[in-house]
Chain A
Amino acid sequence: MKRFWTGFLLLQCLSACTDTDYTPVSDFEFLTPRPFGYVNGDEIRHRIMLETRNGVQLQRGGLPKRGALNRWLNLNSLAISEQKISGGFHYEIDLVYQAFYAPLEVKMLTIPAFDLLLAQGGHVATQTVPAWYFTLSPLRELSIRKDESGEYMRPDAPPPLLNDNGVRYGLLVAVTVTLSSAVYLAYLYGYLPGLPKRRIFKQARKKLAHCSERQTGEALSVLHQALNVVNGAPLFRHQLADFYRRHPHYQTAGSQLDWFFQTSNQYFFAGGDTSADTVAQCHTLCALCLDIEGGRR
């Protein structure tokens, strides 16, 4: 009896030392398409997204092999992308199966489960990819009907060719319009040598010229729109650091742009009181940006 209790306690101690909470996988997602409406020969795509912990790597030898998995299921392709993330790896495994089963009625089939092998040093763990159930339908009904007007099972007649003259003329017009637009855009962006360039802040300056001293909102909006065009997306004050990283030449106008966004926030979102010379300062900032755009600063 004493020997039994000693052995029992030893086993308890050993199991207590084991790190039972450790899991090699930090994230596992199994993305599958609709599980119905397939017919003989259809392809089925599965994606597995897997994130592993420190040093744990996927063993590719454990994945199913391309080719016939059973008498009716083929694995046509298997693509794995691996990306190192903090501590572990992020895997995306794309599997393309093809079903070659000719059922006589709607039948539920199973793409079998398999285990992903994960290794860290000498230790190996597994993550099960569950079996996936789907239904396969026959291409035609079970008994072939006899039709009085002829053979029931027959190929489709080749479709008559459509009159495509209208499409051809349409294509000709579209190509002409596209080419003309391209030439016009090239002119606007200044890609045509010898012709004047169209500048974003030049357009803004024209619009600002129509703003009176009291039209603070309009003046601020004009500059916002110009800056949004330069940025390629709406530009907000807290994104200025990123904007300067992508457009470093505008950093020379840093203090003025900071003033502009502060004033804009004050005007549009915090009561609307700004100094009397705001529109004049917008003119100055626009001129500065125009110089930067033209490479003069």
Chain B
Amino acid sequence: MGRSFFPLMTHYQLNDWRESALRFEQQLNGIVIGQTSAVRHLMLAVFSRGHVLLEGNVGVGKTTLLRAITHGLGGDYQRVEGTIDLMPADLIYYTYLDNNGKPRVDAGPLLSHGERLATFFFNEINRARPQVHALLLRAMAERSVGAFNQVYSLPYLQVFADRNSVEREETFELPAAAKDRFMFEISINTPTDDVVLQELMFNPRYHDTDRLVQDMPTGHIAYYALNEVAAGIQQQIQSSGKLREYALALWKASHCPADYGIGLDDVDMAELVQAGASPRGMSYFIRAAKTRAWLEGRDNLLPEDLQAVYPVTMAHRIFFNPMYAYRKAGLMPELINRILKQIAAP
């Protein structure tokens, strides 16, 4: 596909894009096996132009998956490791002495690829300081960075950040504002299917991830067209009045679950939620649901689209009161599950 920017995507063009997207999804599932749910959510994020917070153990295929996405979309890929001494300036520029012994200033990882930067992977983001999170907030929200007295535009930037769930020492919890910039929080867990595990262990194809990614066909989807496609999808998919009522009820339930008759064991529901999902979260929620409807080949939103993306868009946007925060790992999935089971549509 060439570098053409459509004023408005036609129905037929979006159908072609869907076929390409589904083919791309199939290819990703062939590269990182046993992660169909995570791959589907990443596809939704790519075609909704949302940033993604990944959570998972080491060695489950997060980097391979992101490299495969980058390879499929084209564009440039940049990876940064979060460390306690990383400062915002380290992302913007770095200084060194050149061969002649003269000081040089070069663009840092966020700027060195210019507008071609399509995938930015921030590994172990919770090891970086809040100052770095703050810089990333602007890059994510506005897709631009100010440096050297000018504004650098990153129109195709999509940020993927990873949180290490094992070690918690010397880490900085992401503030609510930073979490809210991420469309999804996706868990990538070790596959549980024995067939998949055996395949990963014994099939040499999965031992050389470089070759695995390089062998993947590329060129079906161009990173620089995704913004237009995403806008076309959002315009094409329609929602009815009943569906809007249902979506609103789901959002309100994230703030006041007790009002919808939702209860959890050993929890005072009136005290549980300190803050529910933000309006930006709701916007992301509907954008992702519309993209799912498009991938399913429909022109209208159904409740199942909302249900499919509710956990990944809401779980990191609901904040519990401190007295329940230490039980969050168990309470949050239960709360999300109860909300989805309690609220009917129509």
Say yes or no for A194: interface residue by CB 8 A criterion.
no
Query: How big is chain A's contact interface, by range?
Result: 20 to 34
In the bound complex, do residue B59 and residue A86 qualify as a contact, i.e. CB atoms below 8 Å apart? no
Residues from chain B with a CB closer than 8 A to the CB of A29 are 168, 329
Please, which residue of chain A has its CB at the minimum distance from the CB of B241? A268
Chain A contacts with B in 20-70, Cβ cutoff 8 A: 21, 23, 25-34, 49
Is the CB of B342 closer than 8 A to any CB of chain A?
yes
Q: How far is the CA of A21 from the CA of B164 in the complex (A)?
A: 14
CA distance A224 to B345 in the complex (A): 9
- Residues from chain A with a CB closer than 8 A to the CB of B301 are 269
Instruction: Kindly list chain B residues whose C-beta atoms are within 8 Å of the C-beta of A16.
Output: none
Is A87 engaged at the interface, CB distance under 8 Å to the other chain? yes
Contact A268 B341 (CB under 8 A): no
B344 CB contacts on chain A under 8 angstroms: 224, 228, 234
Task: Please state if B240 and A271 are interface contacts (CB–CB under 8 Å).
Answer: yes
Q: Chain B: which residue is nearest A86 at the CB level?
A: B192
Q: Does B27 contact A (CB under 8 A)?
A: no
How far does the alpha carbon of A159 sit from the alpha carbon of B167 in the complex, in Å?
Answer: 52
Q: Does B30 contact A (CB under 8 A)?
A: no
**A236 contacts B342, CB within 8 Å?**
no
Check if A268 sits within 8 Å of B242, measured CB to CB: yes
Q: Give the contact stretch, choosing among B43-51, B95-103, B274-282, B302-310.
A: B302-310
Chain A residues closer than 8 Å to B59, beta-carbon distance: 21
- CB neighbours (8 Å) of A265 from chain B are 302
B interface bracket (residues with beta carbon within 8 Å of A) = 35 or more
Q: How far is the CB of B192 from chain A (nearest CB, A)?
A: 4
Bound CA span A233–B338, Å? 10
Mark A227-246 against chain B: 1 for CB-CB distance below 8 A, else 0: 01000011011100000000
**A272 B326 Cβ-Cβ under 8 A:** no
Which residue of A25, A86, A220, A269 contacts B190 across the interface (Cβ within 8 Å)?
A86
Q: Is A195 at the interface (CB under 8 A from chain B)?
A: no
Q: Report A257-289 residues with CB < 8 Å from chain B CB.
A: 264-265, 268-272
Across-interface contacts of B298 in A (CB, < 8 A): 270
* B242–A269 CB distance below 8 A: yes
Query: B346, A272: Cβ atoms under 8 Å?
Result: no
CA distance A99 to B101 in the complex (A): 63
**With A and B bound together, what is the CA distance between A220 and B57 in angstroms?**
46
B190 touches A26 (CB 8 A): yes
With the chains together, A34 CA to B322 CA distance in Å? 9
Beta-carbon contact of A26 and B341 below 8 Å:
no
A270 touches B341 (CB 8 A): no
- Tell me, in angstroms, the Cα distance from A218 to B342 when the chains sit together: 21
Residues of B contacting A21 with CB < 8 Å?
58-59
In the assembled complex, the Cα of A32 lies from the Cα of B325 at a distance in Å of: 10
Check B191 for interface membership: any CB of A closer than 8 A.
yes
Q: Which residues of B contact A85 (CB under 8 A)?
A: 192
The reply to whether A234 and B343 contact each other, CB–CB distance below 8 Å, is: yes
Q: Bound complex: CA of A26 vs CA of B164, how far in Å?
A: 10
Per-residue CB contact flags for chain A residues 194-229 toward chain B (1 = under 8 Å, else 0) read: 000000000000000000000001001100100010
Q: How far is the CA of A27 from the CA of B167 in the complex (A)?
A: 8
Is B327 part of the binding interface, using a Cβ–Cβ cutoff of 8 Å?
yes
Across the interface, name the chain B residue whose C-beta is closest to A228: B344
Docked-complex contact B326 and A32, CB < 8 angstroms: yes
Query: How many Å from the CB of A12 to the closest CB on chain B?
Result: 24
CB of A130 closer than 8 Å to a CB of B:
yes
Q: Note all chain A residues with C-beta closer than 8 A to B166.
A: 23, 25-28
**In the complex, what distance in Å separates the CA atom of A82 from the CA atom of B302?**
41
Write the B55-94 contact mask toward A (1 if CB under 8 angstroms, else 0).
0011100000000000000000000000000000000000
B interface, CB within 8 angstroms of A: 57-59, 165-169, 190-192, 197, 238-240, 242-243, 298-304, 307, 323, 326-327, 329, 341-346
Q: What are 28 of the A-B contact pairs (CB < 8 Å)? A: A23-B166, A26-B166, A28-B166, A28-B168, A31-B327, A33-B326, A34-B323, A86-B197, A87-B190, A130-B169, A221-B346, A224-B344, A224-B346, A228-B344, A234-B341, A236-B303, A236-B307, A238-B304, A268-B240, A269-B240, A269-B243, A269-B300, A269-B303, A270-B299, A270-B300, A270-B302, A271-B240, A272-B240
